[in-house]
Structures are given as structure tokens and as C-alpha cells.
Chain A
């Protein structure tokens, strides 16, 4: 009897050990099925290199008394920018090329690149690394036969002159000679002083100003809002996704918060982290690189998105001390899309304080062409509108073509800066676009 019990117990133990071994061997969940720990670094794309973060606002070419403006996205624009950027990168020691005298008066102005935001210079940058620091606002190339000079105009107001090495002089001169302007690239350079308009109206200019005159019509664009992967987006903002709670608003928007930071998804994206600890400030190049990193992580750069403005750490952000500010705008056919569209971030060394992103993609087929009224007519209308408000003899600071977001459509507008005020007028009807308020 005792032996029988022993046998049964032994059998039971053998079976039990087989079962437990099977559980231990096969019962574990494979790694891909285990719950995410929520702490993996997640981002939309790798940050862009500095060389791809900034493009000039415009490139202006001067020939035979006329000037032509190239806009971002055009083939010629890319050629001139790539060549100029490479040259500035290769001139690592600009000290060798400084030219103490002014360029000969016969040297012709060939082309210039305007930078807004400025191009960082110095050891932290990739352009003119031999410089101690600086930020380039404009690069102008002058030429006399086979010699070229580069005038470097800095944001701080200083200017320096380089006599370019023969190789670069030849390349830039050849590029310039090959350029064939298109009629719509034509601009008029308005001289400094008073500009008379009809009906006794006039505006003043305190510096020469370029105004597009070759564009007779611009296409309308139907747009669709950008769609971002919601889960991926949440993981880029919140370190532990599991701690994020969702609030569904009555208007269909969603708010996500972990108690410290908040993200609202509705018409675009709004993120805020008001209690982010303040840390050390950022210099211009570091601010630029950080801005690039932040947009790459949280949504990415989309096609035709251009960094339009970068303000260093001297801006006061409500309740968060000093912060850097960066703004991107979409370009449609090289013209900025104004209105409630674009990306605006406030940040400092410690991270992102706030982020507003509302981007649109054009539908494949552009709409009908819209007539573009001649700039003098537009100025007359703008001055009349200002006069109705009691302002006279206004100072014209800037006049450009752009697009404005009306609902989900981009309409062409004239953007005029008069006496520090911005005025938008539709290019055909010369009335403010719908939804725009001065």
C-alpha cells in the first residue's frame, strides 16, 4: 500500500514538473507582446542639418537696369542658393579674402540673397566657420570682368567685403550669365523718397524697396488640413503615454494632459507646458538648431515649410520668463500662406513651452487664376483706407504678394506694411480677405 502511494506521488510530481517546465519554457509572452514601458524616445523624423534649415527669403538678380526676384522652390533659386551656401561653407577662413578697400565703382551688382531669419556664422555654424560669430542678413555679389566681391551685411548693421577666390568668382559669374529671367520674376526698385500716386496721394520710402511688377495673375488653391498620426504625436510630447488622460470637447476637439502639459487637437495642434523649468539661455545658432530639432520631433518639416522668423532668448513669454520664438510658414508657389496657418513655437534650453501648428496641404489641382492689380493701384487703395482712419503721408516699409487662408482656400493677396501697420488686400478686388482683421 505504502509503495503504491509513493508511486502515485512520484507520478504526480513528474507530471507537475513537466507542466511547470512547459509553462516556464513556452508560457512566457514573447517580447513583442509585452506591454510598452512608455519611455521609448519617439519622434517624427531625424532633425535636419543646419544647411537645410534656412533658405533665403528671396534672391534678387540685377541685369541691364532691371531686377528679378527668385522665390523659394524655383529651380534657379535652388541653384543660386546651393552655390552660395557651398561657397560660404568652403570659405572657412574668410580672413584670407578680406578686401580693405571698397569694390571698384565699375563693379556691377549681380545678385543678392536676403536672409530672414539671419544666417548664423562662426564656429558653431557651417557657414564662414572662421568668423568668431555673427548673423548674415544679406549677401551681395558684385562683379568686374572675372573678379567677384561678396558684401556681407550682418544683422547687427556691420558690413564686410571679401574678394572671392578665382575659382568661386568664375563659378558665380558663369551661373549669373546662364540665368534667363522669366517675366513674372520682374521687380521694380522704388527709390528712397516720395512716391507720387494718382489723385494727389503719395507714400514715402526711407530706403529703396523692391516690388513685384511682373505677376499678372496667381492661382487660387484649395487646401486640406494636415493629418498627423495622433498616437505618434502624443508619444512625442508625453514621456509616458499611459499617464495621459483624454478630454473630448463638445466641438469635437480633443485635449490630452498628464497634469503638467496639455495638448489640444482640433483645428491644428496647441501644446503648452507652462511650468517647464527655466534653464540657461541659447545663443543664435543653438536656438536655431533647437528649433529645428523640436519641429522635427513634433510633427516634422513638411514640404514647402519655411522657417520665417527666429527671435533669440530675449522675448518674454507670459509666466515662463525669457524664451526663444520660431515661426514657420507654408509656401504656395513660393509665396507665404498668411492667416491662421503655420507653426509657432516658444522654447528655451529646457524644452518646449508652447507649440501651435496648423498646416494645410494644397489639393492636387490648383484653382483658377486670379488677376493681380498693379502695385500703384493697390497702394492708392491702401493709402485711402489709412486716410479714412486719419493717417496721412504714410511710410511704405514693405509690399509683397502672398496668400491668405480663407476657410480652406488660399486666396492671393497684397501684403502692405505702411507706418508699421500691416494691410492685406485681395489682389483682384482690393478688399481685405474674409476673416482678416488689421
Chain B
């Protein structure tokens, strides 16, 4: 028999065998990831479904399959310490217990709830820019001021802007190693180019345990659940942001676990949190 021919036949045979073995070894995982990815056709169908129910998706959405674990957090005292360092010494000691602690000094009113948010009122305010400055300019100056004062720990990221009376409120979210923490925030109110109010609540996250990671529902599934839970909207509502992060309500506790959530931000400023494990609406829908 021709040796060269025999080798060719054997090469084809072993190639076939290897493909068969690869299919058995890795086929399951490939099929699984393909199942979780949302195809373009499916996505168009979801967008149509949303539009029919009165929801307009006006943002890019992560369509990949993801895994996540609970994130353990505890309340952070960083801002509280900083505020007391800056303003606490010049004012009377806190009175009462359990109630929010108040410090009042010249041009500043500091209020914080032990284990809760910190509120700072600056009167008449810290001038950042002239009244004519645009929002982007004001935001840049605000961020610089917060960094200088130590009120902007690394990881705060700009989220949105709202208006209340004459005030423009800049909302920042806490971010830790690429993970958005919707429960950790800093809101800064600017009026007439001056920073007049700060409200902040920051968390101390621990590293999530990889062995506890589970698949999370896709953004597409979360959007379908959102519509199911909120019902049809009339007039139509616009979804301007859709992000995966972590969220839970505030607990007066030592530490707690936050589930991964899909946060959908509407144009009116309302946020809806869909638990990315269960697809249920997390109780508090806005921060």
C-alpha cells in the first residue's frame, strides 16, 4: 500500500476524531453562551415590544451574557470624617442620640445620620463659576473643588443632571473596580454658579467571591420584566440609561450583600432597579 496515501487517510481520520472530541468537550459551553447572547433579530423584537408598551429605548444596551455574585458592602465613614475634620471642630457637639447629628457653623450646616447619608448646606455657598458658565464647565469646576476638598474619592462617576427650583443638581455614582454601585452616590446642588448643597452616601465594598458567581439575566430579559412590572406607559416614557451594577436599599447594619441589578433611568430622573438574578423589582425604585 502507498504509505503517503495511508498517512493522508489517517490525518483525515484523526482530524475528524479531534473535531468530535472538541465538540463533546466544549460544545456545551459554546451552546450555552450562544443561548444567552441576544441576537439582532431578538433585540429588534424587544424594541418593538417596548415601543408597543410605551417605552422608548434611547441608549445603548449591553447585550452580552454576564456572570456576577453578591457584593458585600458596609457604610463608609470617609466623607463623614472629612466633613467633621473640615467643619465639626468649630461647632457645638452633637445633641441627642439616634436622631441626625447637626453641626452648625459660620456659612455651613452639616447634618449626618449615623450610618446614613451626609448632608452639607453651604450658605451662601462656595463660588465655582460665574452664572453664565455652561453645565459642562460648572461640572468640571465642581469636580475639581470636590477633589481639592477631599469629597470626591476615586471612583465617583458622573451619572446625570436634574433641576430643582433654581438649583442644578449634579448626580454622581460610586464606582468600584468597574462596578457601578447605585446605592453609593454624591449629589451636588449648584445655584447661581455656587455650590450650595452636598448629599452623599458612600459604601465600602469587599471583593466579591468568584465561586459564588452566577449567571445574570440579560438586559433584554430585564427590559421585558420592567415592562411586565410597570405596565404600559402613556404618554410614552424614554429610557435614557441602562446599566448593570449593584443596588440595595440603605440598611442601618454592619454589612450587607447587594445583588446585581439592571438600572433603567428614565428621562424624568426616575430609576428602576431590576434584580439581575431574580428579575424582580428591587423595592426602592429611585435614589
Q: Main SS of chain A's interface residues?
A: helix
Tell me, in angstroms, the Cα distance from A187 to B155 when the chains sit together: 75
Query: Judging by beta carbons under 8 Å apart, are A6 and B4 in contact?
Result: yes
- Select A246's contact among B8, B22, B257, B277, beta carbons within 8 Å: B257
Q: Which residues of B lie under 8 Å from residue A249 when comparing CB positions?
A: 253-254
Query: Judging by beta carbons under 8 Å apart, are A13 and B18 in contact?
Result: yes
- Select A16's contact among B18, B70, B256, beta carbons within 8 Å: B18
Distance to closest chain A CB from B94 (angstroms): 18
Query: Judging by beta carbons under 8 Å apart, are B278 and A10 in contact?
Result: no
Tell me, in angstroms, the Cα distance from A21 to B11 when the chains sit together: 17
Tell me, in angstroms, the Cα distance from A23 to B4 when the chains sit together: 30
Query: Judging by beta carbons under 8 Å apart, are B253 and A248 in contact?
Result: yes
Q: Which residues of A lie under 8 Å from residue B10 when comparing CB positions?
A: 10
In the complex, A17 has a CB within 8 A of chain B = yes
Q: Which residues of B lie under 8 Å from residue A24 when comparing CB positions?
A: 21, 24-25
In the complex, B248 has a CB within 8 A of chain A = yes
Q: Which residues of B lie under 8 Å from residue A243 when comparing CB positions?
A: 277-278
Query: Judging by beta carbons under 8 Å apart, are B251 and A13 in contact?
Result: no
Q: Closest B-chain residue to A9, C-beta based?
A: B11
Q: Closest B-chain residue to A259, C-beta based?
A: B280
In the complex, B60 has a CB within 8 A of chain A = no
- Select A248's contact among B212, B256, B258, B259, beta carbons within 8 Å: B256
Tell me, in angstroms, the Cα distance from A339 to B258 when the chains sit together: 36
In the complex, A3 has a CB within 8 A of chain B = yes
Contact with B along A1-13 (1 / 0, CB 8 A): 0110011011001
Query: Judging by beta carbons under 8 Å apart, are A3 and B248 in contact?
Result: no
Query: Judging by beta carbons under 8 Å apart, are A17 and B252 in contact?
Result: no
In the complex, A227 has a CB within 8 A of chain B = no
Tell me, in angstroms, the Cα distance from A243 to B212 when the chains sit together: 10
- Select B21's contact among A20, A248, A255, A258, beta carbons within 8 Å: A20
Q: Closest B-chain residue to A249, C-beta based?
A: B253
Query: Judging by beta carbons under 8 Å apart, are A242 and B212 in contact?
Result: yes
Q: Which residues of B lie under 8 Å from residue A23 when comparing CB positions?
A: 21, 25
In the complex, A245 has a CB within 8 A of chain B = yes
Distance to closest chain A CB from B180 (angstroms): 18
In the complex, A31 has a CB within 8 A of chain B = no
Tell me, in angstroms, the Cα distance from A23 to B23 when the chains sit together: 12
Distance to closest chain A CB from B209 (angstroms): 12
Query: Judging by beta carbons under 8 Å apart, are B248 and A245 in contact?
Result: yes
Given known A-B contacts A246-B256, A250-B253, A258-B278, A20 and B11 have beta carbons under 8 A apart: no
In the complex, B37 has a CB within 8 A of chain A = no
Q: Which residues of B lie under 8 Å from residue A248 when comparing CB positions?
A: 253-256
In the complex, A280 has a CB within 8 A of chain B = no
Query: Judging by beta carbons under 8 Å apart, are A3 and B280 in contact?
Result: no
> Which residues of B are at the interface with A, using a C-beta cutoff of 8 A?
3-4, 7-8, 10-11, 14-15, 17-18, 21-22, 24-25, 70, 72, 115, 212, 214, 248, 251-259, 275, 277-278, 280, 282-283
Sampled A-B contacts (25; CB under 8 Å): A3-B3, A3-B4, A3-B7, A6-B8, A9-B11, A13-B18, A14-B14, A17-B14, A17-B21, A20-B22, A20-B25, A21-B21, A24-B24, A24-B25, A242-B277, A243-B278, A245-B257, A246-B70, A246-B72, A246-B256, A247-B251, A249-B254, A250-B252, A250-B253, A258-B278
